[in-house]
Amino acid sequence: MTTLWMVRHGPTHAKSMIGWTDLDADLSDQAAISRLLSFLPDAPVVSSDLARAVQTANAIAGGRPRLPDDPSLREMHFGAWENRTWAEVDAEDPAHIRAFWETPGNVAPPGGESWNDLVRRVSAGVEKYISADLEHLIIVCHFGAILCQLQRALGCSASEVFAHKIDNLSVTRLSTKPWAVQLQNHRP
């Protein structure tokens, strides 16, 4: 069994759909970083290859082994909706954006990923690490990436998992054999 310690990256303060848009993390809350350093196990650290996750992983790695950044752990790709607000897209295509958020599954933004695409990509990436038979792994990634693994552990629908909160610099701990939630959205 591998225990996944999933950490959401530091805040970007963006008020739009930021998926593959590469923004820096605000890591000025040194007290939160110190608490994470103390709370997390002595285990390898891997992150998405987007700057906000890489910067957060580097800040909390301490003396832990740092694995190469992994693009399979990226946030959902919002395609033509990247870096745009819900209101902007709603003004242009209200039916499409409502279907995307209200019935998550196969609906994708133009040129982007659906929820099901995200789940397949992130789950395949996570499986690589589980098959390496690590006891613990710290994964620094994104809201959507954490939610889709939380969905696996809870065995719930996408609509149900969307109701869960995942704060910046929080830890969601999942066991994988069997899949179970040990801790969710914990701010040490």
Question: Quick one: pLDDT at residue 105?
Answer: 93
pLDDT-flagged residues of the chain (< 50) = none
Degrees to nearest 5, angle at CA 175 with 158 and 38 = 110
Question: Quick one: pLDDT at residue 95?
Answer: 97
Range of the domain at 66: 3-77+121-186
| H or E element in which residue 185 lies | strand 179-186
Q: What is the DSSP string of 65-128?
A: -BPPP-GGGPPPP-GGGTT--HHHHHHH-HHHHHHHHHS-SS---TTS--HHHHHHHHHHHHHH
Question: Quick one: pLDDT at residue 1?
Answer: 84
Question: Quick one: pLDDT at residue 53?
Answer: 98
The predicted-structure confidence for 53-71, as pLDDT tens digits, reads as follows 999 999 999 999 999 999 9
Q: Which amino acid is at 45?
A: V
Would you say how long the chain is, in residues?
A: 188
Any domain includes 144: yes
Q: Which long-range contacts (CB under 8 A, 24 or more apart) does 146-155 make?
A: 146/6, 146/8, 146/172, 148/115, 148/118, 148/119, 148/122, 148/123, 149/4, 149/6, 149/122, 149/123, 149/174, 150/174, 150/181, 150/184, 151/119, 152/123, 152/179, 153/179, 153/180, 153/181, 154/181, 155/179
CATH of the domain at 54: 3.40.50.1240
Any domain includes 55: yes
Q: What is the Cα–Cα distance from 181 to 175, expressed in whole angstroms? A: 7
Looking at the 3D structure of the chain, how many domains does it have? 1
Question: Quick one: pLDDT at residue 83?
Answer: 95
Q: What is the DSSP string of 120-172?
A: HHHHHHHHHHHHTT-SEEEEEE-HHHHHHHHHHHHT--HHHHTTS---TT-EE
End-to-end CA distance of the chain: 24
